[in-house]
Structures are given as structure tokens and as C-alpha cells.
Structure 1
Amino acid sequence: MPEAFLYFIWQYKYFTKNSLTTTDGDAVQVLHTGFRNHDAGPDFTNARLLIADVEWIGTVEMHIRTSDWLAHRHQHDRAYDNVILHVVWEDDRATSSRRVDRADGMPLPTLELRPLVDPALLIRYQDLSRSSDAIPCASQFKSVSPLRLTSMLDKAMMQRLERKAAGVQEIVRQTNGDWEEATYQLVAANMGFNINTDPMAQLSRAVPLKSILKHRDVLLQAEAMLFGTAGLLPAEEGDDYVVTLQREYRFLSAKYRLAEKQVMPHAWKWGRLRPANFPTLRLAQFARLLTKQASLFSLFVGTTAVDRLVKSLQITPSEYWQTHYRFGKQTEKGASALGQQAAENIVINTVVPLLAAYAHHRGQPAYIDRAITLLEQLPSEKNRLTENWETLGLGIRTAFDSQAAIELHNEFCSQKKCLSCQVGAALVKK
């Protein structure tokens, strides 16, 4: 049994509260269970208890067995001096010869939960935690009230937004507060579209945006820096375009010392990709976007109309890449422009988190409101996870819905955090 179940039982008082006593027979009254501590130290803080008619205010530590206090060596940790109650599922002191004390040597009051909890509660929890379904509550999903489900989806969406915003803030920190450079790195990683996210991110760190912007008026030079540093530029001579890129890259590589930061060619993945997703074409589109837009950061932060934002991202690369997917292999017709779904993906996964992070930076919640509005105006994403949810009857109409559903699956369902989910918790306590 995980301690998460104990936290759930304690936090919501799902135990018999009449005539509570410690394992030593002292009467206990729970005035306030305290607040869940997700950092180091005792599990609950600011709890208020009456033990033997004396009011105590302090922390509560929880374990499966009483002896776990000793196993975790809390008796030697001064952070646990303020523990006023040890809550356990099973008191195993009968099989242990050692007394459980605080660090100061005082006996530690212990409350055993197992006799106080309805066995049906544990059975319902175990049914969820042992489920082999991708969504543990799939068989019971239709019994959940729509209001509770909507509330949980809102919670999941805001959690996702905050988590992604924190990732953006970390990139801003790494770029010494340069929001323009951070935006450039975010878009680069996004244009890897999962399969090539890592090499695209590595490339953006190897070629600073300021180097590309110095050559913004000459698209071919921007392409040379990106293709060459990506390790995708052919070593042998090819057509006129390749020869020109090679010449430009030799000069620019020496000028900006790019060769020493080159991405290894094997880092790029090609298997199972449609030609429209080949890294060469994505890099060509990226180069065109960087030279067409004077400031991606200003575009993303300053544009409120979602249609205009999506359209501004649907750029067409240079003429060569309108008939090529790879160097030296001409096609009759190439799907060269960045498609609408790809542009919408960038809005969802780059623009929205950027706005949320900028809201924290500026202390202006209006940017978060704009981020949410963008998600509500965009169509939902279509993938295996959203299809699973729709099969269960969850209506997914907008990107807000699909992002919330993805977060709910990835951060709750797949990790069996059912007790942290309003849906799972409702099914357990019934």
C-alpha cells in the first residue's frame, strides 16, 4: 500500500472519528489535519490536535508501519522534532523491541488507522491502482458527475500551463533574461515536432539568434548556418544550391566558430517520417520564419487574433525547398509550406506557455487570460490520447480540452495518482 492512500485518508478524515485513541490509550481529537507538505520534512504541517486533553499544534508524519520511523532514521533528524502525531496504517511495535521516540527522546504519540477505515474504501482504491487500463477509471468513467469532471480538467489544464511556464522561465534564465533568444530556442525545439525536438534544441543553442539576425537580409546565409551547424549539409559537392551553401557555411562557420558546436548527423531521425516532416524541410521553414519575422517574441506576445497568429507561422521556405525534401533529390511537387496543423501546434506548445511565463515575469495575469483564450479558439489536437478519452465519452472540442485531457492522462492516470484526481478520489470515497 502506498503512503498516498494514508495521506488521502488523513486529509479528508475518511476514518472513524469517535473515541479516537493513540496506541498508548490517550484520547485524540483531530481539530485540523494540517496542510500537505510536498517538500522535505513531515507530511503535514500546521495540524491541530487534542491529545489527552492538551492542545498541540505542529506537524504530522505518516508511515505504513510504526517501525518505519526508525527505518527512516527520523529519530536523528531535528526536522521531525515538531511532530505531534505519528499516523500509521499498522502498528507493528509488538514485533519490534525498540521504542519510537522523537529526536529529543520524548515518546511519540501514534495513531493506527487500519481499524478505523472502512475496508470497502481500500478495495475501491485497489481496484483503481491495479487496473490495467490506460485510464484506470475507464470502466466507471460514465458514473462521474460532469461538474466534477469539468473541475478536474480545469485543474489539469492550469497545472499543465504552470508546468510549461516554469520550463520557459528556466530557458529565459539560461539566456540571461533574453526573451527573444528564449523564444527562438522554444520555436526551434517545437519545430522538431517531438521526433527531432532534441537536435533542434541543441542547434538553437549552438547558433545564437543574434548571429542569424545579422544576416537576416540574406536567407541563404541563414540557411547555411543552420544546415551546416546541424550537420546536414552534404560534404561532397552537389547542385548549385548545395555548393553555394557550402561556401557560405565555410565563411560563416569560421566567423562565428560554429564547427566546434556542430550537431552530430546521427542525432537526426528520419524513420517513419512523412517527407513533410523531414528535418531538412523543417530547417528550411525555420530559416524562412526567422528572416521573415523581425521579432518572434513581439509577434507572439503582441498578437491577439489567433487566425493572424497561425497565418503568420504558415511560411513558405526558399525556392529550392519548394521542390525538395532532401538535398539533391528533386520532387515534382513538395508540400513545402508549414501546414495549418503544424502552425497551430506551435501556438499551443510555444506561444501559450510563453504568454503564461511572461505573465509571471510582468505580474500581469492578463497574459494568462490571453493564453487560455488562444487554446479555447483553436481546434482540439488529434492523437491516441485524445481518441482514448473520446471513446469514454469525454467531449474534446478545443485545444483547451485536448491539452487538459493530455495532462490528466500523463500526470495522473499513467502514474496512478487517482487520489490526487477529483475523479479518482470521488470513485474511491463514493
Structure 2
Amino acid sequence: MQEDFLHYLWKYKKFDVGALETVKGETIQLIQVGQHNFNSGPDFFNAQLNIDHQLWAGNVEIHVKSSDWYVHNHEIDPAYDNVILHVVWEHDVDIFRKDNSEIPTLELKEIVSKTTLNGYQQLFSKSQKWINCEHDFISVDDFILQNWLERLFFERLERKSSDIEKLLDASKKDWEAVLFKLLAKNFGLKVNGDAFFSLASSIDFSIIRKIQTKGQLLESVLLGQSGVLETTVEDEYYIQLQKDYLFLKQKFGLSQQHVTAPQFFRLRPPNFPTIRLSQLAQVYVNNQNLFSKIIEAKTAQDYYDLFTVMTSEYWETHYTFKKSTKKSNKTTTHNFIDLLIINTIIPVKFSYSKISGKNYNEDLIPLINELKPEQNSIVKKFESLKPISKSALQTQGLIQLKNEYCNYKKCLQCAVGNTILNRF
């Protein structure tokens, strides 16, 4: 038995509320269950109960056993002085407040139906399943699921916003510097994201501002800090980049101490670090005050216009410095830019709205709904259970659902889990 399940039983009144009694035989009339508290302190605030014909307003604490009250030292914690009812699965000892007054106890074990218990046990059975509700997921109403996924989308943004706020503090409130780091990370995609982030973090953004109109210098700094200019290559452009980088490294005191080397292994050539870093450089060559532009932009097309770039001319005939290839324009694709919008642009706009007090959030739902559903292992598995993804909003919600709820078996805090259990 889990306390979370007992919270669920109390919150949704999954027992016969018409014949409630304390373990001492006092009648209980349930008026308000109270507000569920997910932080420290009693489990439900501001409940209203009529106990033995006396009206009470206060808090409710829930445990598996009555004795857990003493295990958690609530008898000496003033936060629990206003508890008016102790709800337990099994009553094994009387409990008292700090002033030695006894707290009424409601035991649930004998008043919860076997049907409800069987539903709970079925959902949390130990059989090997990808998610607990995989057999019932298809039966969940689309309206409930769509609303839950939208809420999860914003919940995911809140988590990302917290990370952005830390970067903002470290960057002395410089939004352009934060944007540069996040864009660099996402230009690195999954394989080189952390490496590109470490690279961007090693360069004070004031340096980028000074050289961003000079594409070759900017490219030399990015490639040099990544470590790809450290060998000897008989190539004219390579030698020039190396000279530029060594000069700028000394001038600006650049250090590679905490930079992780990017990987080429198992990457398709268009995703090679050389290509992605050249494209990132071109974004900044083409756009002064990039942060202001992304804040003002609204539609996916606005962002395609900003981030559709080619590499510098050299990379039209190269993927690495060591070998030339047939000439081709290596342009950022709409699919790639969609990932930038999902993982960088939308979180940054959400955070900026939150911190600045300016409302750009009304643009976010239309924007995310413009983008095609993402394709990854989590989304594909959910889609095999029930086709639901209409746009990137749903896929972002599904990722949050799997990573933050299903993986931790938090079914009782999930709209899907609650919908399934409420059938019993």
C-alpha cells in the first residue's frame, strides 16, 4: 500500500462517505476534503468536517499506519498542530498533538471497495510493461488526453525555464549570451549537444559581438575552441583559420580547459561538427541582435527565415578539412529548424515572458501547433498504443509524460491514471 493511493482515495472520495466513523465510533460528515498539498506539511489543507456533530476546519494528514505519525515526528512539529483528522489505511495506535489532545482517526481498510483495490493493483501490477497503463491507454478519452498533454507541455517549459534562469544569472542577465549557449547546444543535436554547449560556455559573448560580422573570424573561434584546428593539415583554409584562431585565442585569453571535444563517429556528414558550427556562425553573421528578432517573431515561417542558412563557401566542397567532395549547398532544413524552435526558441520566449512580465505566451500554442510531431522512440511507442500526435505540442507532452510520470509510476498524479482508476 502506498500513501499516494491513500491521497487518491481521500481526494476523490473513493469510499462510502455516507457512513463514516472514526475508530472511536464518532460520526464524520465530509464537507470539504481540502486542498492537496505536494510540499512539506499536512497532506490536505483547509478541509471542513463535521465530527460527532462538531464543525471543524483545518488540515488532514494521511499515513499507511497510525504509528507513522510518530515515525515522522509530527507530534513535535507545530506545522501539524492544526490537523483535525488522521486518515490511515490501518489503525495501530492512538495519536496525539503536541498539547496531548487526541486526533480523530479514520481507518480506510474496511470501507474501500474491492473493485477499487483491484483496479489499483491491476494498474500497479509488477508484470513487465513499458508503462503501467499500456493496456488501458487506448480507452482514455481524447479530450482528457489532449488537455493533459497541453498541461504537460507547459510543465516541461517550466522545467526548462528553471534551467534558463540559472544560465541568465550566470550570464549577468545577458539574454543574448544565454541564447547563444542554447542555440549552440541544439546545433550539436543529441550527439554533440553537450560538447557544443561547453564550447559556447567557454567564449564570453562579448567576443562574439566583436567578431560576428566577420564570418571567417567567428568560424575560426568556434572551430578552434572545439579542438578541430589542433592537427597539421595541408589545406589553405585550414591554415588560415588556425592562424586566426591562435591570434584571437591570445588576444581574448580563450581557454579550452572545460571544453568537450565533439564527435564525428556515427554521424551523417550533414551533421558533422564542422558543418553545424559553420552554420551557427552564419546565423550570427546574418543577424545582429538575434535575441530581439526571435522574441518579435511569431510564426514558424518567421523562424525559418531567420535560421535558414548555408555554411561558408569552403564547406560547400568539404565535410572535413582532409578531403574535398562534390559541391553542394549545406543548408539548414525546416526539420532541423523545428528542433531549434522546440528546444530553444519556445523555452527562451516562455522564460522571457515569465521574467520580464511581457506576455509572449499567447504566441506559443499556435507556434508549437504549426510544427510537425517529433519522431523518437517515446513518441513511436505511445503512437502504437493510441494515435494521438497532431503536432509537436502533443509529442512534447508525451515526452514529459513518459519521463516524469510513467518512469516514476506517478499514475496517481496523472490525468490518464486517474481516469482509469475512476472507472472502478
* TM-score tier after normalising by the smaller chain length: over 0.9
Counterpart check, 1:423 vs 2:423: no
Q: Which one of 372, 377, 387 corresponds to residue 384 of structure 1?
A: 377
Structure 1 distance, partners of 2:154, 2:179, is: 21
What is residue 360 of structure 1 aligned with on the other side?
Answer: 354
Query: Which stretches in structure 2 are left out of the alignment for 5+ residues?
Result: none
What is residue 138 of structure 2 aligned with on the other side?
Answer: 142
The structural deviation recorded for 1:262 is: 4.8
Does the aligned pair in 1 maintain the 2:202–2:256 contact within 8 Å? no
Q: Which one of 129, 132, 135 corresponds to residue 133 of structure 1?
A: 129
Q: Which one of 345, 358, 361 corresponds to residue 351 of structure 1?
A: 345
Does the aligned pair in 2 maintain the 1:275–1:325 contact within 8 Å? yes
Does the aligned pair in 1 maintain the 2:310–2:329 contact within 8 Å? no
The change in CA–CA distance for 1:308 and 1:22 in structure 2 (over 3 A counts) is same
Structure 2 distance, partners of 1:129, 1:409, is: 16
Q: Which one of 100, 103, 107 corresponds to residue 102 of structure 2?
A: 107
Does the aligned pair in 2 maintain the 1:75–1:101 contact within 8 Å? yes
Structure 2 distance, partners of 1:255, 1:175, is: 21
Structure 2 distance, partners of 1:61, 1:192, is: 48
What is residue 160 of structure 1 aligned with on the other side?
Answer: 156
The change in CA–CA distance for 1:259 and 1:154 in structure 2 (over 3 A counts) is closer
Counterpart check, 1:332 vs 2:332: no
Once structures 1 and 2 are overlaid, which stretch shifts more, 125-134 or 53-62?
Answer: 125-134
Q: TM-score, normalised by structure 2?
A: 0.93
String of CA shifts for 1:352-410, please: whole Å, max 9, x gaps: 11222222233343x11111111111211122222222222323222222222222222
What is residue 321 of structure 1 aligned with on the other side?
Answer: 315
Once structures 1 and 2 are overlaid, which stretch shifts more, 316-325 or 162-171?
Answer: 162-171
Structure 2 distance, partners of 1:162, 1:304, is: 20
What is residue 296 of structure 2 aligned with on the other side?
Answer: 302
The change in CA–CA distance for 1:106 and 1:209 in structure 2 (over 3 A counts) is same
The structural deviation recorded for 1:344 is: 1.0
Query: Which stretches in structure 1 are left out of the alignment for 5+ residues?
Result: 94-98
What is residue 399 of structure 1 aligned with on the other side?
Answer: 392
Q: TM-score, normalised by structure 1?
A: 0.91
The structural deviation recorded for 1:335 is: 6.7
Does the aligned pair in 2 maintain the 1:226–1:283 contact within 8 Å? yes
String of CA shifts for 1:277-307, please: whole Å, max 9, x gaps: 2223222211121222112212211112321
Counterpart check, 1:16 vs 2:48: no
What is residue 96 of structure 1 aligned with on the other side?
Answer: none
String of CA shifts for 1:201-251, please: whole Å, max 9, x gaps: 222221122211201222121122222222332233542222222222222
Partner SS state of residue 60, structure 2: strand
The change in CA–CA distance for 1:412 and 1:333 in structure 2 (over 3 A counts) is farther
The structural deviation recorded for 1:70 is: 1.4
- Look up the equivalent residue of 1:404 and give its one-letter code: G
The change in CA–CA distance for 1:234 and 1:90 in structure 2 (over 3 A counts) is same
Once superposed, which parts of structure 1, at least 4 consecutive aligned residues long, lie more than 4 Å away?
A: none
Percent of residue pairs bearing the same amino acid type: 36
Counterpart check, 1:117 vs 2:131: no
Counterpart check, 1:277 vs 2:271: yes
- Look up the equivalent residue of 2:15 and give its one-letter code: F
Partner SS state of residue 136, structure 2: helix
- Look up the equivalent residue of 1:423 and give its one-letter code: V
Structure 1 distance, partners of 2:391, 2:333, is: 18
The change in CA–CA distance for 1:247 and 1:380 in structure 2 (over 3 A counts) is same
What is residue 174 of structure 1 aligned with on the other side?
Answer: 170
May I ask how many residue pairs the two structures share in their alignment? 422
Counterpart check, 1:26 vs 2:19: no
Does the aligned pair in 1 maintain the 2:202–2:255 contact within 8 Å? no
The change in CA–CA distance for 1:42 and 1:239 in structure 2 (over 3 A counts) is same
Partner SS state of residue 397, structure 2: helix
What is residue 45 of structure 1 aligned with on the other side?
Answer: 45
- Look up the equivalent residue of 2:118 and give its one-letter code: I
Structure 2 distance, partners of 1:410, 1:50, is: 41
Partner SS state of residue 102, structure 2: coil
Partner SS state of residue 50, structure 2: strand
The structural deviation recorded for 1:333 is: 4.8
- Look up the equivalent residue of 1:57 and give its one-letter code: A
Structure 1 distance, partners of 2:317, 2:332, is: 14
String of CA shifts for 1:51-96, please: whole Å, max 9, x gaps: 2322222222211111211112222322222222221111233xxx
Does the aligned pair in 1 maintain the 2:283–2:309 contact within 8 Å? yes
Structure 1 distance, partners of 2:367, 2:164, is: 18
Once structures 1 and 2 are overlaid, which stretch shifts more, 149-158 or 343-352?
Answer: 149-158
What is residue 239 of structure 2 aligned with on the other side?
Answer: 243
The change in CA–CA distance for 1:278 and 1:102 in structure 2 (over 3 A counts) is farther
Counterpart check, 1:4 vs 2:26: no
What is residue 254 of structure 2 aligned with on the other side?
Answer: 258
The structural deviation recorded for 1:260 is: 5.4
Structure 2 distance, partners of 1:106, 1:270, is: 69
